[in-house]
Amino acid sequence: MGKYIFAILGFSLWVGGLLAQEPISPLPLKPTYNPALAALGQRLFFDPILSKDKTVSCASCHDPAKGGADGRERSEGVGKVLGGMNAPSVFNAGFNFSQFWNGRAASLEEQALGPIQNPVEMNLALSEMIRRLEGEPSYQEAFVQTFNPGPLTPQKVALALAEFERALVTSNSRFDRYLRKEIALSEKEQKGYRLFKGLGCVSCHNGRLVGGNSYQKIGVVNPYPWFQGQADLYALTQKESDKNRFKVPSLRMSADTAPYFSSGEIGTLEAAIAAMGYYNLGVTLDQDQIENLVAFIKSLKGETPAILEAQ
């Protein structure tokens, strides 16, 4: 009999332990990356030489001072051409389970050469990119030092850019410090976190990115307008059920990345939260709830990555 009681007690403690586990986990305090490779990637990331008319760099649309995004509804590429989608933050992108709003690139390496060739972004042929980089002795030297002697290839450019992005981790946010039991949250942040869990936001926005690990629809409860030409899963699969289905964005930097949603059509964090409540959970949030959720989302923002401090 005693044996059973202990078994049941043990089992309940185990379940209790699982339940007590937080649905959000902290970002690593120190990102792991190869410093020489990341430094080369950093130079490339900020260099407009990678665009056709030498006016646009990766940082034009992923500006560290703008939360790793560009503050625009839709991005502006070379020749001031508008793209179709809102630029997501590059901060913490290395932890996304796939890249782009519809996950069409599996890794940062696979993603990196896309914007360089994209006609509405940097519009540069890879052969021309290589010619330009080979024409700069300091790049020649940096590539040889980083990769050993050998031809300068697009793949090496992709590896360097991806390594720099892996260094862009915003560690040590107030929320992470709370998770590590170093500080207490303010009352508003606490209320916001409780709402975030209680309302069900956390069913889609969870893990260390508070998103970035599943594909979900916008318009689960109340239908959300769909338009042709957006980068949803439908663009890849042509399946009706994939319309308005996106990789759930990370909320880690959302405090700084207005406007919101893949369309960029929502101007403020307050409005994005209200829209999420209405379209995805079927609730009309009041002003107080929205303010608390804003405070919680702001607590997710971490520190400037060390690699940028050194700049």
Residue 231 binds to ligand HEC (criterion: CB under 6 A): yes
Taking the CA of residue 183 as centre, how many other CA atoms within 13 Å lie in the half-sphere pointing to its CB?
Answer: 12
Residue 276 binds to ligand HEC (criterion: CB under 6 A): yes
CB of 17 to ligand HEC, least distance (A): 26
Residue 116 binds to ligand HEC (criterion: CB under 6 A): yes
Residue 233 binds to ligand HEC (criterion: CB under 6 A): no
* The binder of ligand HEC chosen from 108, 133, 209, 307 (CB under 6 A): 108
Question: Can you tell me the distance from the alpha carbon of 243 to that of 185, in angstroms, rounded to the nearest whole number?
Answer: 38
Tokens read off for 112: 């990196």
**Which amino acid makes up residue 121?**
E
Considering beta carbons, is residue 176 or 277 the nearer one to ligand HEC?
Answer: 277
83 Cα distance to chain centroid:
18
Tokens read off for 278: 């209405």
Residue 209 binds to ligand HEC (criterion: CB under 6 A): no
Q: Which stretch binds ligand HEC (CB under 6 A): 2-10, 124-132, 147-155, 196-204?
A: 196-204
Question: Can you tell me the distance from the alpha carbon of 308 to that of 134, in angstroms, rounded to the nearest whole number?
Answer: 26
Question: Can you tell me the distance from the alpha carbon of 287 to that of 295, in angstroms, rounded to the nearest whole number?
Answer: 12
Question: Can you tell me the distance from the alpha carbon of 225 to that of 249, in angstroms, rounded to the nearest whole number?
Answer: 19
Work out the burial of residue 19: count CB atoms within 10 Å of its CB; fewer than 13 is exposed, 13-18 middle, 19 or more buried. exposed
* The binder of ligand HEC chosen from 38, 40, 62, 302 (CB under 6 A): 62
Contact indicator for 255, 298 with CB cutoff of 8 Å: yes
Residue 160 binds to ligand HEC (criterion: CB under 6 A): no
For tokens 């405070």, the residue is 295
Q: Which stretch binds ligand HEC (CB under 6 A): 8-16, 24-32, 116-124, 180-188?
A: 116-124
Contact residues: ligand HEC, CB under 6 A: 50, 56, 58, 60-62, 75, 77, 83, 85, 87-88, 90, 93, 96, 99-101, 108, 111-112, 115-116, 121-122, 161, 165, 199-201, 203-205, 216, 218, 220, 231, 246, 248-249, 251, 254, 257, 260-262, 272-273, 276-277, 280-281, 293
